[in-house]
């Protein structure tokens, strides 16, 4: 078997194609990520996650974005619909910590039931009046201290449910007024402002096992390129913020980045990211990235092993009781 590749890949549809199966067997990605295009029903997802693992011959992590609210790949009628995180925090008030723990413990159970054991959550970005609408209500608060506290709760709920949380978007996406899926945001705030607010939640959560970079330029620190491909910013993430978990890129398919996917992958790894995340499932792009990324090694491999060691069986829980408590805290009828 080949060494594990420094990549997390998507796939094209509801089932693994023969071409994808052969490619994944050769490329040996470290993990997979699913999107709405891959989701139809619980039975279909169980088959898909099983087939993805079978393709590489390992119990690899399978990730998804199931924040709740607009960013929720698994939806009704098969799965619960959730409020946007910022709205839930506001509605829960002084019970926000407990409500969020219950919410993400329930989400973790939904994910584990279909073979998914990684969730790209929590967002520890601090909301501002200028935060782009694509992100704002996905944040937990406009107060950095509250973001740190609530994001810790979200992470602990995932881990209790047997799901690996992915802290995002390091070192902070909240000041971005552009959508990095389509354009490259530039933040002009001074470093001291960023340290006091944007970077602070990530520093408080620097012990978490996995994190995702931000496709944002911080002009006062590294004006030449986004954090994902900036050695200066990755060094700041490691040394000043203190994050020593597995650092994956945000999706390399996003239009905030320039150059070919091969160039993006090369620049991200050269900057110090551990893992390439590529989400669109397009086989020619995945082939190019696999060739560029190569195998996990050194510190990146050690961090990957540490992340996998954080994955554990779910703690016993009465899910119906947790759901009833969550509904009572939000004073909303059952979905």
Of 113, 85, 120, 119, the closest CA to residue 99 belongs to: 85
| Separation in Å, CA 19 to CA 11, 38, 58, 281 | 11, 16, 19, 12
Tens of pLDDT along 76-88?
A: 999 999 999 999 9
C-alpha span between 206 and 176 (Å, rounded): 22
CATH of the domain at 313: 3.20.20.300
Q: Note whether residue 11 is domain-resident.
A: no
Of 137, 165, 153, 143, the closest CA to residue 97 belongs to: 153
What would the mean pLDDT of 56-68 be, rounded to a whole number? 97
- 310 token code pair: 């954080």
| Contact by Cβ (8 Å): 49, 110 | no
Which residue among the candidates 250, 251, 274, 278 is catalytic per the annotation? 250
- The DSSP string of 266-331 is HHHHHHT-SBEEE-S--HHHHHHHHHHH-B--HHHHHHHHHHHHT--PPPP--HHHHHHHHHHHHT
C-alpha span between 79 and 262 (Å, rounded): 36
Dihedral sign computed on CA atoms, order 276, 111, 173, 201: negative
C-alpha span between 302 and 281 (Å, rounded): 27
Annotated active-site residue 250? The verdict is: yes
Annotated active-site residue 169? The verdict is: no
For the cut 80, the answer to whether the pLDDT of residue 332 exceeds it is no
Q: Note whether residue 10 is domain-resident.
A: no
Which pLDDT score is estimated for 119? 98
Q: Note whether residue 335 is domain-resident.
A: no
Number of separate domains in the chain: 1
State the virtual CA torsion across 269, 273, 277, 282 in degrees, nearest 10. -10
Alpha helices in 30-165 (DSSP H): 42-56, 85-92, 96-112, 133-136, 144-160
Which pLDDT score is estimated for 254? 81
Which residue among the candidates 51, 143, 179, 181 is catalytic per the annotation? 181
Tens of pLDDT along 13-40?
A: 999 999 999 999 999 999 999 999 999 9
For the cut 60, the answer to whether the pLDDT of residue 289 exceeds it is yes
Tens of pLDDT along 156-170?
A: 999 999 999 999 999
Of 255, 250, 264, the closest CA to residue 166 belongs to: 250
For the cut 70, the answer to whether the pLDDT of residue 334 exceeds it is no
- 193 token code pair: 């402002």
- 32 token code pair: 């997979």
Task: Indicate the pLDDT class of residue 1, thresholds 50, 70 and 90.
Answer: very low
Q: Note whether residue 46 is domain-resident.
A: no
Q: Please measure the distance between the N-terminal and C-terminal CA atoms of the chain and give it in whole angstroms.
A: 46
Which pLDDT score is estimated for 320? 97
| Contact by Cβ (8 Å): 314, 161 | yes
Q: Which backbone phi and psi does 244 adopt, to 5 degrees? A: -120, 15
Q: Note whether residue 47 is domain-resident.
A: no
Which pLDDT score is estimated for 2? 63
Q: Note whether residue 35 is domain-resident.
A: no
For the cut 50, the answer to whether the pLDDT of residue 54 exceeds it is yes
In the sheet with 210-213, reading across from the earlier edge strand, the strands are 167-170, 210-213, 246-248
Q: Note whether residue 104 is domain-resident.
A: yes
State the virtual CA torsion across 220, 143, 207, 303 in degrees, nearest 10. -50
Q: Note whether residue 289 is domain-resident.
A: no
Which pLDDT score is estimated for 181? 76
Which pLDDT score is estimated for 33? 98
Tens of pLDDT along 243-288?
A: 999 999 999 988 778 889 999 999 999 999 999 999 999 999 999 9
Task: Indicate the pLDDT class of residue 333, thresholds 50, 70 and 90.
Answer: very low
Q: Is the pTM of this model over 0.85?
A: yes
What residue numbers bound the domain in which 249 lies?
A: 61-260+270-284+296-330
Tens of pLDDT along 210-234?
A: 999 999 999 999 998 999 999 999 9
Task: Indicate the pLDDT class of residue 10, thresholds 50, 70 and 90.
Answer: very high
H, E, C per residue of 169-234: EECCCCCCCCCCCCCCCEECCCHHHHHHCCCHHHHHCCCCCEEEECCCEECCCECCCCHHHCHHHH
- 115 token code pair: 């073979």
């Amino acid at each position: 078997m080949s060494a594990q590749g420094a990549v997390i890949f998507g796939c094209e549809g509801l089932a693994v194609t023969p071409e994808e199966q052969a490619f994944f067997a050769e490329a040996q990605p470290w993990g997979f990520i699913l999107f709405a295009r891959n989701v139809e029903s619980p039975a279909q997802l169980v088959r898909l996650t099983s087939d993805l693992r079978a393709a590489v011959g390992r119990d690899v992590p399978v990730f998804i974005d199931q924040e709740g609210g607009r960013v929720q790949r698994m939806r009704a009628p098969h799965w619960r619909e959730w409020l946007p995180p910022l709205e839930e925090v506001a509605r829960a008030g002084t019970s926000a910590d407990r409500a969020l723990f219950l919410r993400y413990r329930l989400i973790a159970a939904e994910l584990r039931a279909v073979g998914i054991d990684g969730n790209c959550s929590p967002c520890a970005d601090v909301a501002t009046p200028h935060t782009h609408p694509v992100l704002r209500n996905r944040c937990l608060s406009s107060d950095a201290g509250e973001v740190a506290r609530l994001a810790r709760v979200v992470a602990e709920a995932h881990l209790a449910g047997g799901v690996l949380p992915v802290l995002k978007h390091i070192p902070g996406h909240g000041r971005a007024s552009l959508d990095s899926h389509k354009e490259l945001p530039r933040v002009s705030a001074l470093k001291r402002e960023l340290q006091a607010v944007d970077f602070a939640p990530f520093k408080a959560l620097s012990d978490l096992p996995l994190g995702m970079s931000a496709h944002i330029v911080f002009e006062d620190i590294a004006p030449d390129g986004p954090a994902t491909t900036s050695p200066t910013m990755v060094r700041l993430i490691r040394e000043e913020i203190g994050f020593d978990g597995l650092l994956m890129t945000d999706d390399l398919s996003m239009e905030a980045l320039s150059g070919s996917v091969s160039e993006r992958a090369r620049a991200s790894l050269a900057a110090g990211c551990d893992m390439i995340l590529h989400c669109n499932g397009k086989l020619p792009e995945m082939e190019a990235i696999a060739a560029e990324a190569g195998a996990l090694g050194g510190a990146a491999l050690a961090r990957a092993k540490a992340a996998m060691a954080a994955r554990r069986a779910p703690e016993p829980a009465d899910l119906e009781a947790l759901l009833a408590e969550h509904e009572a805290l939000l004073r909303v009828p059952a979905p």
